[in-house]
Amino acid sequence: MKIGRFENSLEVFYGIIENKKVLKVDSPFSDDFKVIGEYNLEDLKILPPTEPSKIICIGLNYTDHAKELGMDIPDEPIIFLKPPTSIIGDGDNIIYPEMSKLLHYEAELAVVIGKKCKNVKIEDSFNYILGFTCFNDVTARDLQRKDVQWTRAKSFDTFAPVGPWIVKKDNIEVSNLNIRMYKNGKIVQDSNTKNFIFKVDEVVSFISKIMTLLPGDIIATGTPPGVGEMNVGDEVVVEIEWIGRLRNKVVKEG
Ligand code: MG
């Protein structure tokens, strides 16, 4: 099942995508939602599929990426935050900020939380997950290298493309998904979630021991090898098997 957020000239709403239709639902985070309307997908703008209170990102989380960087496998996840104001959806533009001279893409699998939780055991993690979507952890690499904290490098408006929709957890085998990044149609990242250092259930449990997770919150699970530069005019597409493609273009600020 695919859950998305949509807009037409009248309203913004959550809906389930079935074939080329969107069924408007009253509460996408509940299992007993009601269908309260029907639209044609082509008549709607696709919005980011969730409105999180926070976006928590994992630093190094692919064994093949650690090898590429010549880094040791970390013994616990490195985490950082992106603000909710950095979110954009499928088809929206990534704005190249004037403050940076080196912008990087990072294809990532995103976990979307379905139920409020704190101090979750690893074996219970999946009870609190709604589903999964595509994410691009856009990074001003020059500013990341310059600053001790990564907040500036990770937080510009438009630095968190997410979507196009959430695939519910029961419809997907999250521990074995091909993940790719295409830049201008060429594959530049190509890996599989079986290369995770910390699995999805471990990551949710770890973060929930630090902060309360709320419905809609996003956890970006780290990027595979092959991160690289993108420039004004480039089109970047995150593609995750069984989920879909998240497409964004880079534009100049102003
Ligand atoms: Mg990242």
Q: What is the CATH number of the domain that holds 5?
A: 2.30.30.370
Rounded CA separation 5/151 (Å)? 27
What is the whole-number distance in angstroms between the Cα of residue 137 and the centre of ligand 1?
Answer: 5
Look up the pTM and report it. Answer: 0.96
* Maximum distance among all Cα pairs of the chain, rounded to whole angstroms: 53
Q: Which domain holds residue 32?
A: 1-47
Rounded distance, CA 83 to CA 142, Å? 19
Residues 6+ apart with CB under 8 A from 73: 63, 66, 197
pLDDT reported for residue 188: 98
Q: Are residues 169 and 233 in the same domain?
A: yes
> From the CA of 79, how far away is ligand 1's center (Å)?
10
Q: Which of 32, 47, 62 is the last residue of a domain?
A: 47
Same domain, 61 and 169: yes
pLDDT of residue 185: 98
Compute, in angstroms, the gap from residue 248 CA to the centroid of ligand 1. 17
Strand, coil or helix: 60: coil
Flag whether pLDDT at 126 surpasses 90. Answer: yes
- Identify residue 198 by its one-letter amino acid code: F
29 C-alpha to ligand 1 centroid (Å): 26
Contacts of 89 (CB under 8 A, 6+ apart): 5, 46, 47, 48, 49, 161, 162, 163, 164
Distance (Å) from CA 109 to ligand 1 centroid: 10
Residues 11 and 84 in one domain: no
The tens digit of pLDDT for each residue in 7-48 reads 999 999 999 999 899 999 998 888 889 999 999 999 999 999
37 CA to middle of ligand 1, Å? 37
The rounded Å distance from CA 125 to ligand 1 centre is 21
Ligand 1 centroid distance, CA of 167 (Å): 21
Among 169, 61, 67, residue whose Cα is nearest residue 108: 61
